[in-house]
Amino acid sequence: MTHITIALPDAVVQQYYNASEKLSTDLMDLGKAPNAQTLMRFILASFNEEDVAKAFDTALRNLAGAPIPDETDTWVFSPEFENAP
User: pLDDT by residue (tens digit) across 14-73?
Assistant: 999 999 999 998 888 887 888 999 998 888 888 899 988 888 888 888 888 887 777 666
Contact partners, residue 39, CB within 8 Å, separation at least 6? 16, 19, 20, 23
Closest by alpha carbon to 14, among 39, 47, 36? Answer: 36
Neighbouring residues of 42: CB distance < 8 A, sequence distance ≥ 6: 34
- pTM (two decimals): 0.56
